[in-house]
Structure 1
């Protein structure tokens, strides 16, 4: 990124790079963009719904998600960025139905690292009918 790039565009690039690394299965690439104390907030109605704190808990979530979603094929439809906030409209295939599960991920970025990721589901497909795992 050039020095002339705005903070908003720098933060958008961080989120886009995180999704690119995730699609490649590059966990080190994903981790390089997260703060040590990152918080991921999944809605409580999801089988894996809770707040995850730190990279170790994030890794635990990443190991559970493939039971529900095909995380090897994340589609980012678009991103919206404003200062330290970036929202991504995302689709991931439900492994049970093969249908697209769509949601918004809201990221907060501080000092070039993702410090929070809050997930808002539009349609959660069969996921809401699954037993809780956390």
Structure 2
């Protein structure tokens, strides 16, 4: 097995472990897949759109997302990995309409941890129409 393939498979394994833990509600295991300085980049046109920094940012986003998306029904359709990058095609129902939101999550993995997660939405219409959450 080449070094690139090994890195590719390790990166894929980290992302798949994170999704598996998320489906099971195992927050501790999800967090163990993230680097301390992880960046989660949500598109600015979404009501929760911004860059979330670190594990505190992850927890802040985790509080907001259930207002918009049914995380218990997340479906990972497939993953594509190459070196330290992994793309996952994901679907999650909108809590208000039940419509499936479909998007790609692009992950960068370094030293066995996710350091960046950037989202690309296919059709966010049901989410875009919603108001932004009030700052607390």
Displacement after TM superposition at 1:125 (Å): 3.5
- Aligned counterparts of 1:61 and 1:27: Cα–Cα separation in 2: 13
Q: Does 1:81 align with 2:76?
A: no
- Give the secondary structure class of the aligned counterpart of 1:89: strand
- Give the secondary structure class of the aligned counterpart of 2:72: coil
- Aligned counterparts of 2:43 and 2:72: Cα–Cα separation in 1: 22
Gaps of 5+ in 1: none
Displacement after TM superposition at 1:92 (Å): 0.3
Displacement after TM superposition at 1:72 (Å): 1.1
The answer as to whether partners of 1:47 and 1:130 remain within 8 angstroms in 2 is yes
The answer as to whether partners of 1:74 and 1:92 remain within 8 angstroms in 2 is yes
The answer as to whether partners of 1:94 and 1:125 remain within 8 angstroms in 2 is no
Q: Does 1:8 align with 2:8?
A: yes
- Aligned counterparts of 2:9 and 2:131: Cα–Cα separation in 1: 39
Q: What's the CA shift string for 1:22-44, capped at 9, x where partnerless?
A: 11111100000000000000000
Displacement after TM superposition at 1:95 (Å): 0.6
Instruction: Give RMSD over aligned pairs.
Output: 1.3
Gaps of 5+ in 2: none
Q: How many residues align?
A: 131
Corresponding residue for residue 103 of structure 1? 103
